[in-house]
Structure 1
Amino acid sequence: MQRVTVTLDDDLMEELDHLIEERGYQNRSEAIRDLARAGLGQAKRETGNQSNCFGVLSYVYDHAARDLARRLTSTFHSHHDLTIASMHVHLDHDNCLEIGILKGPTSEVQHFADHVIAERSVRHGSLQIVPQAPKGDTEGESHEH
């Protein structure tokens, strides 16, 4: 077993302590190990599928963080082929919520989302993946748009 030092902001630590109490964990390490296992399992499910998907990427970030808005915009421009639409919401004086609708190969959508969520001062990031049905695999009659 290895020892790892992780820095968490006070609000996140408070949430973690609440979860520990709610679920009856003996200590923080047990809870963090379970959360890491769950996250790794989800990542395997999401990246194991090489078909196309739609993704809904949502994240909250500190708009005043140094160069973060510029880096995020640059990242989206660099991956314009994956981005269908985006929405920006001012939550309060310090925080913004962005939602991006993505479409492309599952592994590329996941990699892009991971990169955005990993940026410093990005909080509460998540990606919801919706598999894209292969052509000819739709219910009912097909039609052209």
Structure 2
Amino acid sequence: MQRITVSIDTPLAHALDAMSDARGYASRSEAMRDLVREGPARWHAEVPEGEHCVANLSYIVDRRVRALPQRLAEMQHAHHDLVGVTTTMRLDHDHSMESLILKGSTAAVRAFADQVRAERGVRFGAINLLRVSRSDDHDGVGTHRHEGHDHLSPAG
């Protein structure tokens, strides 16, 4: 077993202790081990099989972190091919919740989401990826030409 040291602020430590007590953990270490085990399991669940996906990425932004809103906007512009829609809801004077609808290759969407969630000041980042297949198929809706786009149909 390896030992690591983690520093957390006082309110988070109190929340960890309350969760620990409520769930009957013998120690903070046991609670932290379970939380850390959950992370890789959730990460693996986010990886759908398939080449293309649509996704919803949601996270909380702390605007007090220097230039964070500007950095996030620049990241979204740099990946305009992935970002379809961005919605921001102000929560209080310092925090907002952003939700982005993404589409593209699974690898690119996943890499972008990981980049956003790794930014200092982004908290509670969660992504819901759905596998889609790209096609130009039409089931009984008539014939028409597509000028530079494919249909994205739910896969599986």
Tell me if TM exceeds 0.5: yes
Matched-pair identity in %: 42
Aligned to 1:15: 15
How many pairs are equivalent?
Answer: 143
Alpha-carbon distance change, 89 to 26 in structure 1, aligned in 2, over 3 angstroms: same
Residue in structure 2 matched with residue 28 of structure 1 by the alignment: 28
Q: CA RMSD in A?
A: 2.5
Query: Structure 2: which amino acid aligns with 1:69?
Result: P
TM-score normalised by the chain length of structure 2? 0.78
Q: C-alpha distance in 2, partners of 1:74/1:41? A: 30
Structure 1 spans left out of the alignment, 5+ residues: none
Q: Tell me the residue number matched to 1:3.
A: 3
Match of 1:46, as an amino acid?
E
Aligned partners of 1:3 and 1:65: how far apart in 2?
30
Question: Match for residue 94 of structure 1?
Answer: 94
Distance change (3 Å), C-alpha of 1:39 and 1:136: farther
Indicate how the Cα distance of structure 1 residues 142 and 59 shifts in structure 2: closer, same or farther if over 3 A, else same.
farther
Decide which structure has greater helix share: 1
Provide the residue aligned with 2:111 in structure 1.
111
Distance 1:46 1:84, change over 3 A: same
> Normalised by the size of structure 1, how large is the TM-score?
0.84
Structure 2, gaps ≥5 residues long: 145-150, 152-156
Show CA shifts across 1:28-85 (max 9, x none).
1112212222210221232363421111111111112111111111111111111110
Answer yes or no: is the 8 Å Cα contact 2:55–2:128 preserved in 1: yes
Partners of 1:58 and 1:64 in 2: how far apart? 19
Read off the aligned partner of 1:23 and give its amino acid letter. R
Structure exhibiting the larger radius of gyration computed from Cα positions: 2
**Is the 1:46–1:106 Cα contact (8 Å) retained in structure 2?**
no
Q: In the alignment, is the contact (CA less than 8 A) between 1:50 and 1:107 conserved in 2?
A: no
